[in-house]
Structure formats: structure tokens, C-alpha cells
């Protein structure tokens, strides 16, 4: 079916490929679809629901039928649209959704059962009994569902993500897009021209018309050459702009030709100051009986295959439409040597021609399993049958408005065009132009592209040179929309999901009158093409069925992505450790050199403990380190704690708002413990707030919640209190911070500070600037161990050196480094909290911190925290527990019960949140959340761990086991 001449393919470069196990040959410049048609292949797939035979309908990304699986093994790609797959040597493609073969599909029996499988039959049929649903219906449906299949193997493929910035993003490289890019490029703007095709030019490549005295394709090629010569213009072919987001950000998926070392796809985030949407229009099928048969194509697609790919989609054609473009299709077919059996023009008046022309007539139905002919209903009611193997149909054109709706905009109905157009200003900075904005001629598209670019340049403060417009066709095609042809038989609207006009009418009768409800009831527009071809036709049918106009019926919600995106492209770089990044502190080499096992904490790697010679278990090392801190001095790397720099004239007021307690009264050079609540009144995180300067604060968070707190504070600053002049930045990675704790901590610190500490000027909860070897540092007198302690922060590049020196000097005093295990023991001995207690379900009341919720100011979560249910007396509240029974072991996660009751879920009184063996006290201790906990000190409860089969009696006590008055930390 390859034509002897013409087209934009390279006839000297033959490419071998395989489809459905057979070998074929195509040409450089073909798509898989055009190569299949060139080889006479019409049947390419099966529909989802009824497994009806499907052929190629379109020539672009809107294709609903020709879905294939590319490749084999781990790298196979399902649901690829043959119309957009660029042919390459060795390409292998397979049909989908057919068993045992494409020609003989066992599940085609569904088509015979179609009277029983109408829209909504799942909901009506498979309601019960429940056991039959679980064991029979659901497994069978799941096996039958789906189109393509993933290999379930790990593919060794490369994907990338990238970022780009420009003055003007032009979306689409048809006549409007090319003229917009030329106008902006010549004005000196930084331009990106993105087009999903591998050959720029849009419909100029598919039509036989002249632009500027040469062929449309020739003018497009010359325009591309001019743009490529401009250093300020980047042409991104094979790039589909898939989504529009806030602040001028656009998502775009770029596919790359197969080559060694080149990624499969790149997902771009493009930030553009302005954009021109020149996405063109999508031709609309006509809903007529059997319009889904192989051999039925859109008229514009037929012209694409004839003029761009030099392929005849059939030998004997019928053309059906209601515009002058139908005549153009017939003329192009005849010029290519295809016999035009009939031109059916639904308009009452049609020009005379050399074709057998039927004016005021319609094609009522398609004959044959594949197209063998059509039945034409004449204006006088008489039926006439015409033999043909190709039906080229056109119901009109739908402007491609999708991207203009991604920020929740709704398109606007234009009665004169019988189409939806982008709503003005729906996307800030985005200017629609060309066919997507209602232009119906090439000349109008060229003028619209230039005008849109000029508007964008004016907004950017640049002056457009306004290049001359080439002469181009400017004849209105006098189109009249055709939605549905009356008559018997099933008329298909969604070709992939097998939705017919009757399904939509049934939805209306069953009161699914909302377009969104109809969509979900019938699955119209829910296939991979997202209703690009059938969506507006479905709206017209629903409008008729409900007695409303199309604009009253409305549209469904357009959401990104416009075209399918592989998850691997969205998550490029996020596999393996790219997904769970390894974050190391500056002192990480020291921890490894000391043999410390590393544990992950909020993506950071922290030392668990530091084993010494002769220690055989982690408990031995942990006990030694905890006692070391209590008796001499210990050094701990705490660089992973979140650090958020807060500055600005309103910093104090902002911190008052995000903390439940007051920070505006904090004096400069002081630190205060703080509590943050979520908006639902539960605790988000605790930490400290240090006042570095008059309008300068440093907030610390737990390691695990650093990111969450930063997002929370940014949301509060931007949304909840935008009037406050405050600036936030995370500085966690900029500072290496080390805790020095124990009775000899001050003496150890004075060995490294340039100026020794004066005990009188550094009381508990003080902070300030110091220097270490001439390096500026920050010092905080705070304690997470209950001991006299400090935390010193230096720029990260000095962190490893300082930690080495501190550890060496501590070891000389009989101390040393301690890890997270000992840190956990020390904090439990003092009753201090981590996210074992701040688990997202606890409140300040639960943790005995109600006094930290100010009654004099508003703060995030205040109203919600005062709800009666969050202040109930029987809520689990923080207590300490210690074993008093024969079994002396405690386990975290265990449940607490009254000693006399059975240990069942209904009788549970609370849970154990944290446990540790205390070498200081010589026994296990734990923190727990117990109903009416603070009132039950001295009582005995039973701890039961059903998983580990541990049960013991425990005494309820104060959470602070060691130095409850806090004298050691304040000394």
C-alpha cells in the first residue's frame, strides 16, 4: 500500500521490524502505524470490554485503538500508541488484549453477550453473595482486566529528569507555533519550542497546500532551519507538554531515539515567564453503526498517511463529512490513485465534482467485520449500499483545550464553531493561538501565532519585529458538526472502552445526568486516550438525552498528564538509593573508623554504639556509654537534628503562631523548649528555639520530623499568616553539631574553645557565639541527657575535625563517644520525649504538657486542642513504668492491663512507648501512655506482649526516673 512517490519518508532507508510475530519492512520517517498500513495490516488490536477487532483510527497521540506492546522481557513497554511510535530498525511490537491470537480471540464472546454487559452491569451483577465475589467474581474480573502487561522484571533502562527556564514556551510546532517561535526568536527572547512529533510542522506535513509559495511541509522545514540557527531558541521535538502547574511551571516528557548510552525518556520541568498554546485541534469521529471496524479512519488521518507517509489506507474509499475538508480528502485519495467510491456530504448543498457525490446524505452504518462497504441514507430516505474498504469520516474538529484547563479552568462553548475554546486567562501567562483557539484556516493560524507572540513579548518588555506573514490558504471550510447518525445498530463513542451511544443514554435514564457521573458509570473517556476523540461527542449525546444544551451539560475535569508518562520517567533518579538517599554527617568517617554500626534515622545514618575490645553485645557497649556520660563526659554527633533559620521583623510573632508556647518574650542569647501542634490539635514535634539576634532565631527539630516541620512552617508563613514579614531557610546541612554531656563537659569544652567559659555567663538554656581555633561557632547549653551538657555547632566542613578532637580529649578523661542506643537510655531515664511518644496521636494533655499551651495568644492547633474529646480524663497519658514482678523485662509496643482482667483488646488500658535497661538504676524502665496515668502513680499494672510472649507486673511512676528536680543539668 506504499505509494510510488511523494511523502516525507526516506525511500533509501529501509527498516526491518516485527509485528505479531511476522517480519515487515518500513521506511525512515514512518511511524509504526504508517508502516503497518503500508504493509496492508489493518487489524492491530482488540477493544477492552467486548474484544471487538480494532484498526488504526488516527495519526496522532489521540489514538484510542492501535495500542501495542513494544519489545520483550524486562524492557517491554505496554500500551504504546502505534501512531506515535517512531519506526526503527529491529523494532518488535505485539498486539494486546487478545488470546489465543489477534485474529481469533476467545473473549470476543463478550461481544455476543453485550446485551447483558451494558454500562453499569458490574455494579448490578456482582453484588453478592460476598464469598462468591471474593472467590469467583473478583479473581475472574481481575484476570480479564487490563490491556498491556508489564513484564514484572527489573528493567535496566535509563531515564532522566531535567529543568529548563525560558522567556517563552511555545507548545506545538504547527503553523501557529512556528510563527510564534519565529516572532519571539527574532525579538531576542529565550524560546523553547516543544512538539510531541519527531517532525515539526503539525498539519502542514499532512496537507497538500502552499504556504509562502512552497509546500506547507517545505515552509515548515525552512522555518525550523531558521529557528535552529538562532542561539536563543531551543527546539524540543518528541516532547509532549503533559501538564500545567502553578507559577509558570510546565511538565514535559521528551522521548529519545534509541541509541547506546542515551536515556529512554526525560521528564522536564520547564519554568516559562510566558507561554503560547498552539496545540492544534483533534478531529472528531461520527457516531454511526459499526463505526469501530478496521478500515474506518478519521479523514484528517487519511490525509496524513497519504501526504506525509505516502501510504494508501485503502483501495476503495468512501468519504463522509459535512465540510469542504471532506472534498479535500477525496481529492487527495484520488490523486494518490485510490478509487473514491462516494463522497457523502451531510450538507444539503454540495459542489459538483468528478466523484459520486451524495448531498444531504449520511453514512448510516459500516458493513462487514472489516470495512467491506457502507450503507448510505439518502435525503429522500432511500438506502444505497456502496462497496469500499475504507471509510474516511469527519464529524468536525475539537480545539485541543486540555492544557488550558489544568489549573481548574473550564473551556467556553463557541456556538459558531460548535466547539469548546480555552477560557481567557484560565492559565496565567498562557496565550492560546491557532486551531486550539478556534482558527480554522492556515492563514488565520499563522496570524494568530504572530499575534500571541507579540502579546507575550510586550508582557516581557521586549519589542517584536513582526515578521511578514507568508501567503497561505484562507478559505473557510464551511464545516457543520455531525454528532450521531440515526439508525439501528451500536454506535461507538469511546472506541477503547467500548462505550456506545446507548450506554450514555442509559446513564441519563438511570439519573447519572452529571457529566462526571456519566463518565464513571459508562467509563467514557477513562481509557488511555482520556476521551480525546469521543469526549465532546459524548457530551452532545448526554445533552440530547437530558434536554440540555452542550454548554449546560458541561465538560469533565481535565487533569495532567495530557499524554501517558512512564513512572520511571517521573521518578528518574529515584531508584535504589536515589529513592532513599543516604545522608551522612560530617563526622561519618570517624564513626566508621570506630566500628560503629550505622542506623537510619530520617534518611540520616547515625552511629548506634561504639564497640570496644572485649564487648560481645551491643548492650555492653550501650551500658558503658550511658554510665560514661553520667560519671565523666560523653560526646555525641547530633548534626542530624533539624535546624531552621528564622529571620525578619515579624519573626517573633510568627514563632508565637507556630509554637503553642510564647517565643516573643525569649531574650537574646537564650533558648526555650517549644511545642508545635498540627491544625487538628495533636503534637507535630518538639524542639528548641534559640534567639540569636533581635530578629533572628534558630529552631531545632527532631531528626525524623525536620522536613515535616519545615513544610508546616512554610505553609503557615505563606498561607496562614502571609502578612508577616518573615523568612525561613533550612540550615541543617550547613552546621555540624556535637553534644558534650556529663559532669566534666565544661572542662572538656574549655580545652577546645579559644576563650574559656565563664560559668556565670553561661547558665542553663543560654546560647551565643564562640570560636574554636579561630573558627566561628555557636554554643548552646541544653541537655537531652539530664546532665550538665552543651551542644556546639561549627560550619559543616570543620565537623569531622572537631568531633575527632573532642572524642580524643574525652577518652583521655575516661569518657568517649556515645551513640543512639545510649542516647535513648539517657533520655528515658529523664522522661524526655521522642517520636515514640510524639507518634501523631498524642496531645499536649496526653504528655503532661498542657502548661505549654498559652492562653494569651492564638497558635496553630489551639482551637482543635481544646475539644472535649482531646481533654477527656480517660485518655492515655504519659507515665513511667518499672518491673516489679518475677519477670524483669519490658518491651516497647506491649499493652498494659489491670492485673485482674483478661489481656484482651477490649481490656487494654494503654501501651508502652519506649523501654531501656538503665545501667544507672540497674533495671529496666519504660515510658507508657496509660489511661488516667498521672493519677495512678504507685498502682500496679500488667504488661503483656503477645508477640514476644512476655508478661510482667509493673509499677506506675513518674516519667522522670533520674534526677527529677533537674539539678544536674542546671548545675
Is 495 part of any domain?
no
Q: At 116, is the pLDDT very low, low, confident or very high (cuts 50, 70, 90)?
A: confident
Rounded distance between C-alpha atoms, residue 754 and residue 382, angstroms: 105
Query: Does residue 476 surpass a pLDDT of 90?
Result: no
Is 258 part of any domain?
yes
Query: Does residue 576 surpass a pLDDT of 80?
Result: no
- Give SS3 for 720: helix
pLDDT tens sequence across 276-324: 999 999 999 999 999 999 999 999 999 999 999 999 999 999 999 999 8
Rounded distance between C-alpha atoms, residue 744 and residue 787, angstroms: 10
Supply the range of the domain harboring residue 208: 159-282+399-460
Q: Which of 77-91, 192-206, 520-534 has the weakest average pLDDT?
A: 520-534
C-alpha cell at 13: 532507508
Residues 164 and 256 in one domain: yes
Crossing angle of helices 501-509 and 515-522, in 10° steps, is 120
Is 915 part of any domain?
yes
Rounded distance between C-alpha atoms, residue 77 and residue 273, angstroms: 35
Pseudo-torsion of CA 502, 507, 509, 511, nearest 10°? -170
pLDDT at position 800: 98
Q: At 769, is the pLDDT very low, low, confident or very high (cuts 50, 70, 90)?
A: very high
Residues 165 and 265 in one domain: yes
Q: Exposed/middle/buried for 625, CB within 10 Å: 0-12, 13-18, 19+?
A: buried
Is 504 part of any domain?
no
Of 823, 890, 833, nearest to 622 by C-alpha is 823
Residue 937 CA, distance from chain mean position:
50
**Of 394, 416, 444, which closes a domain?**
394
Query: Does residue 858 surpass a pLDDT of 80?
Result: yes
pLDDT tens sequence across 611-632: 999 999 999 999 999 999 999 9
pLDDT tens sequence across 696-707: 999 999 999 999
**Of 84, 116, 148, which closes a domain?**
116
Rounded distance between C-alpha atoms, residue 823 and residue 808, angstroms: 19
Beta strands in 712-867 (DSSP E): 727-730, 735-741, 767-772, 775-780, 789-795, 816-817
Q: Which of 101-110, 235-244, 878-887, 906-915 has the weakest average pLDDT?
A: 101-110
Residues 312 and 270 in one domain: no
Element (H, E) at 306: helix 299-307
Element (H, E) at 112: helix 109-112
Calculate the average pLDDT of the chain: 93
Query: Does residue 350 surpass a pLDDT of 90?
Result: no
**Of 379, 394, 409, which closes a domain?**
394
C-alpha cell at 440: 480554522
Helices (H), 439-562: 442-460, 501-509, 515-522, 535-546, 550-553
- Sign, CA torsion 512/513/517/522: positive
Rounded distance between C-alpha atoms, residue 669 and residue 673, angstroms: 14
Residues 224 and 262 in one domain: yes
pLDDT at position 136: 81
Is 134 part of any domain?
no
271, β-bridge pairs: 165, 249
Give the pLDDT mean for 155-160: 87
The answer, as to whether pTM is greater than 0.85, is: no
CATH number reported for the structural domain that contains residue 293 in this entry: 3.50.50.60
Give the pLDDT mean for 749-761: 91
Number of domains the chain is built from: 5
CB < 8 Å & 24+ apart, contacts of 624-627 = 624/919, 625/816, 625/817, 625/818, 625/819, 625/821, 625/822, 626/818, 626/822, 626/825, 626/826, 626/918, 626/919, 626/920, 627/919, 627/920
pLDDT at position 108: 86
- Sign, CA torsion 875/881/884/890: positive
951, β-bridge pairs: 944
DSSP string for residues in 217-273: HHHHHHHHHHHHT-TTEEEETTEEEEEEEGGGEEEEEEE----TT--SEEEEEEEEE
Element (H, E) at 821: helix 820-830
Residues 95 and 174 in one domain: no
Residues 368 and 389 in one domain: yes
Pseudo-torsion of CA 671, 677, 682, 687, nearest 10°? -30
Give the pLDDT mean for 918-944: 97
Residue partners of 267: CB distance under 8 A and separation at least 6: 159, 160, 161, 162, 251, 252, 253, 254, 565, 569, 570, 572
Is 609 part of any domain?
no
Rounded distance between C-alpha atoms, residue 242 and residue 687, angstroms: 42
Rounded distance between C-alpha atoms, residue 524 and residue 514, angstroms: 13
Lateral strand order in the sheet of 671-677: 671-677, 683-693, 696-701, 642-647, 727-730
pLDDT at position 125: 74
- Give SS3 for 140: helix
Cis peptide before 129 (omega within 30 of 0): yes
- Asked whether the beta carbons of 697 and 691 are under 8 A apart, the reply is yes
Rounded distance between C-alpha atoms, residue 924 and residue 933, angstroms: 19
171, β-bridge pairs: 194, 277
Give the pLDDT mean for 889-917: 96
Percent of the chain with pLDDT over 90: 84
Q: At 42, is the pLDDT very low, low, confident or very high (cuts 50, 70, 90)?
A: very high
CA diameter of the chain: 110
Residue 88 CA, distance from chain mean position:
30
Q: At 12, is the pLDDT very low, low, confident or very high (cuts 50, 70, 90)?
A: very high
297, β-bridge pairs: 392
- Give SS3 for 479: coil
Residues 423 and 274 in one domain: yes
Give the pLDDT mean for 942-967: 96
pLDDT at position 131: 80
Residues 216 and 294 in one domain: no
Residues 403 and 390 in one domain: no
Residue partners of 823: CB distance under 8 A and separation at least 6: 636, 784, 785
Give the pLDDT mean for 484-490: 93
Residue corresponding to grid cell 503560547: 276
Residues 210 and 357 in one domain: no
pLDDT tens sequence across 439-460: 999 999 999 999 999 999 999 9
Cα separations in angstroms, 510 against 70, 505, 550, 734: 41, 9, 19, 63
Rounded distance between C-alpha atoms, residue 844 and residue 675, angstroms: 8
pLDDT at position 134: 80
Residues 382 and 435 in one domain: no
CB environment 689-702: b (16+ within 10 A), e (fewer):
bbbbeebebbbbbb
pLDDT tens sequence across 240-277: 999 999 999 999 999 998 776 788 999 999 999 999 99
pLDDT tens sequence across 489-523: 999 999 998 999 999 999 999 999 999 999 999 98
pLDDT tens sequence across 58-97: 999 999 999 999 998 888 899 999 999 999 999 999 999 8
pLDDT at position 157: 85
Q: At 352, is the pLDDT very low, low, confident or very high (cuts 50, 70, 90)?
A: low
Is 608 part of any domain?
no
Residues 316 and 204 in one domain: no
CATH number reported for the structural domain that contains residue 910 in this entry: 2.40.30.110
Is 807 part of any domain?
no
- Asked whether the beta carbons of 788 and 805 are under 8 A apart, the reply is no
359, β-bridge pairs: 345
CATH number reported for the structural domain that contains residue 651 in this entry: 3.30.70.1400
Residue partners of 791: CB distance under 8 A and separation at least 6: 638, 737, 738, 739, 740, 779, 780, 782
15, β-bridge pairs: 26
pLDDT tens sequence across 634-689: 999 999 999 999 999 999 999 999 999 999 999 999 999 999 999 999 999 999 99
Amino acid at each position: 500500500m506504499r505509494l510510488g512517490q511523494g511523502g516525507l519518508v526516506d525511500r533509501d532507508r529501509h527498516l526491518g521490524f516485527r509485528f505479531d510475530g511476522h517480519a515487515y519492512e518500513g521506511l525512515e520517517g514512518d511511524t509504526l502505524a504508517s508502516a503497518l498500513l503500508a504493509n496492508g495490516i489493518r487489524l492491530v488490536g482488540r477493544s477492552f470490554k467486548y474484544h471487538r477487532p480494532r484498526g488504526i483510527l488516527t495519526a496522532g497521540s489521540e489514538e484510542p485503538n492501535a495500542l501495542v506492546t513494544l519489545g520483550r522481557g524486562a524492557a517491554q513497554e505496554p500500551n504504546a500508541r502505534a501512531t506515535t511510535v517512531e519506526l526503527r530498525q529491529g523494532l518488535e511490537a505485539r498486539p494486546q488484549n487478545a488470546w489465543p491470537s489477534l485474529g481469533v480471540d476467545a473473549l470476543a464472546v463478550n461481544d455476543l453477550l453485550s446485551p447483558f454487559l451494558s454500562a453499569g452491569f458490574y455494579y448490578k451483577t456482582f453484588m453478592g453473595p460476598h464469598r462468591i465475589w471474593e472467590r469467583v467474581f473478583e479473581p475472574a474480573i481481575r484476570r480479564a482486566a487490563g490491556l498491556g502487561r508489564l513484564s514484572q522484571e527489573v528493567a535496566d533502562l535509563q531515564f532522566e529528569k531535567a529543568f529548563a527556564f525560558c522567556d517563552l514556551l511555545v507548545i506545538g510546532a504547527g503553523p501557529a507555533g512556528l510563527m510564534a517561535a519565529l516572532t519571539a526568536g527574532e525579538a531576542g527572547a529565550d524560546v523553547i519550542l516543544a512538539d510531541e512529533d519527531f517532525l515539526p510542522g503539525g498539519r502542514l506535513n499532512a496537507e497538500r497546500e502552499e504556504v509562502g509559495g512552497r509546500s506547507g511541509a517545505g515552509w515548515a522545514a525552512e522555518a525550523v532551519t531558521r529557528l535552529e540557527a538562532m542561539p536563543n531558541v531551543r527546539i524540543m521535538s518528541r516532547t509532549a507538554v503533559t501538564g500545567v502547574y502553578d507559577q509558570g511551571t510546565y511538565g514535559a516528557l521528551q522521548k529519545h531515539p534509541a541509541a547506546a548510552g542515551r536515556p529512554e525518556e526525560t521528564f522536564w520541568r520547564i519554568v516559562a515567564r510566558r507561554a503560547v498554546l498552539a496545540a492544534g485541534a483533534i478531529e472528531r469521529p461520527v457516531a454511526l453503526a459499526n463505526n469501530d471496524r478496521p478500515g474506518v479512519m478519521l479523514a484528517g488521518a487519511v490525509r496524513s498517511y497519504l501526504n506525509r507517509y505516502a501510504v494508501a489506507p485503502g483501495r476503495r474509499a468512501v468519504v463522509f463529512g459535512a465540510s469542504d475538508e471532506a472534498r479535500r480528502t477525496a481529492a487527495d485519495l484520488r490523486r494518490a490513485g485510490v478509487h473514491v467510491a462516494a463522497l457523502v456530504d451531510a450538507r444539503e448543498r454540495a459542489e459538483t465534482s468528478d466523484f459520486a457525490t451524495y448531498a444531504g446524505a449520511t453514512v448510516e452504518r459500516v458493513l462487514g467485520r472489516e470495512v467491506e462497504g457502507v450503507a448510505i441514507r439518502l435525503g429522500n430516505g432511500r438506502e444505497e449500499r456502496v462497496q469500499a474498504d475504507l471509510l474516511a469520516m469527519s464529524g468536525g474538529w475539537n480545539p485541543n483545550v486540555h492544557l488550558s484547563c489544568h489549573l481548574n479552568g473550564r473551556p467556553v462553548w463557541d456556538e459558531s464553531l460548535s466547539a469548546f475554546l480555552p477560557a481567557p486567562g484560565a492559565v496565567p501567562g498562557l496565550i492560546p493561538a491557532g486551531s486550539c483557539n478556534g482558527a480554522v484556516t492556515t492563514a488565520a493560524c499563522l496570524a494568530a501565532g504572530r499575534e500571541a507572540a507579540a502579546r507575550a513579548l510586550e508582557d516581557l518588555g521586549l519589542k517584536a519585529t513582526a515578521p511578514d506573514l507568508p501567503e497561505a490558504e484562507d478559505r473557510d471550510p464551511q464545516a457543520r458538526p455531525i454528532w450521531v447518525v440515526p439508525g439501528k445498530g451500536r454506535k461507538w463513542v469511546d472506541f477503547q472502552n467500548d462505550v456506545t451511544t446507548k450506554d450514555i443514554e442509559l446513564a441519563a435514564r438511570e439519573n447519572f445526568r452529571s457529566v462526571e457521573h456519566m463518565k464513571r458509570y459508562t467509563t467514557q473517556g477513562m481509557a488511555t486516550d482520556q476521551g480525546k476523540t469521543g469526549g465532546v461527542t459524548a457530551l452532545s449525546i448526554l445533552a440530547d438525552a437530558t434536554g440540555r444544551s452542550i454548554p449546560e451539560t458541561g465538560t469533565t475535569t481535565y487533569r495532567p498528564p495530557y499524554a501517558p508518562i512512564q513512572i520511571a520517567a517521573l521518578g528518574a533518579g529515584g531508584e535504589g538509593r536515589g529513592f532513599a538517599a543516604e545522608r551522612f554527617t560530617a563526622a561519618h568517617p570517624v564513626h566508621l573508623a570506630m566500628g560503629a554500626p550505622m542506623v537510619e534515622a530520617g534518611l540520616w545514618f547515625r552511629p548506634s554504639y561504639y564497640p570496644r575490645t572485649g564487648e560481645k553485645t551491643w548492650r555492653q557497649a550501650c551500658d558503658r556509654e550511658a554510665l560514661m556520660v553520667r560519671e565523666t563526659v560523653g560526646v555525641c554527633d547530633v548534626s542530624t537534628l533539624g535546624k531552621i533559620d528564622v529571620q525578619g521583623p515579624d519573626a517573633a510573632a510568627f514563632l508565637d503562631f507556630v509554637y503553642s508556647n510564647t517565643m516573643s518574650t525569649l531574650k537574646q542569647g537564650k533558648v526555650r523548649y517549644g511545642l508545635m501542634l498540627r491544625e487538628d490539635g495533636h503534637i507535630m514535634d518538639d524542639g528548641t528555639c534559640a534567639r540569636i539576634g533581635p530578629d533572628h532565631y534558630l529552631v531545632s527539630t527532631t531528626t525524623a520530623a525536620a522536613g515535616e516541620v519545615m513544610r508546616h512552617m512554610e505553609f503557615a508563613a505563606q498561607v496562614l499568616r502571609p502578612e508577616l514579614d518573615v523568612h525561613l531557610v533550612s540550615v541543617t546541612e550547613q552546621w555540624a553539631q556535637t553534644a558534650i554531656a556529663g559532669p566534666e563537659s565544661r572542662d572538656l569544652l574549655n580545652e577546645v574553645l579559644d576563650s574559656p567559659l565563664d560559668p556565670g555567663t553561661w547558665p542553663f538554656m543560654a546560647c551565643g557565639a564562640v570560636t574554636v581555633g579561630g573558627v566561628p561557632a555557636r554554643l548552646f547549653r541544653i541537655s537531652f541527657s539530664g546532665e550538665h551538657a552543651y551542644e556546639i555547632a561549627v560550619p559543616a566542613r570543620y565537623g569531622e575535625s572537631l568531633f575527632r578532637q573532642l572524642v580524643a580529649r574525652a577518652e583521655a578523661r575516661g569518657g568517649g563517644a556515645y551513640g543512639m542506643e545510649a542516647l535513648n537510655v539517657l533520655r528515658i531515664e529523664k522522661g524526655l520525649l521522642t517520636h515514640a511518644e510524639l507518634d501523631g496521636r498524642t496531645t499536649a494533655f496526653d504528655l503532661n504538657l498542657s502548661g505549654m499551651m498559652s492562653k494569651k495568644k492564638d497558635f496553630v492547633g489551639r482551637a482543635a486542642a481544646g475539644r472535649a474529646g482531646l481533654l477527656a480524663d480517660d485518655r492515655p497519658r504519659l507515665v513511667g513504668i518499672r518491673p516489679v514482678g518475677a519477670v524483669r523485662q519490658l518491651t516497647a509496643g506491649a499493652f498494659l492491663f489491670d492485673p485482674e482482667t483478661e489481656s484482651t483488646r477490649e481490656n487494654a488500658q494503654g501501651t508502652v512507648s519506649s523501654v531501656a535497661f538503665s545501667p544507672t538504676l540497674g533495671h529496666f524502665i519504660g515510658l507508657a501512655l496509660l489511661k488516667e496515668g498521672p493519677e495512678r502513680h504507685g498502682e500496679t499494672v500488667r504488661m503483656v506482649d503477645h508477640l514476644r510472649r512476655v508478661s510482667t507486673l509493673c509499677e506506675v511512676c513518674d516519667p522522670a526516673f533520674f534526677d527529677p528536680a533537674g539539678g544536674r543539668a542546671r548545675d
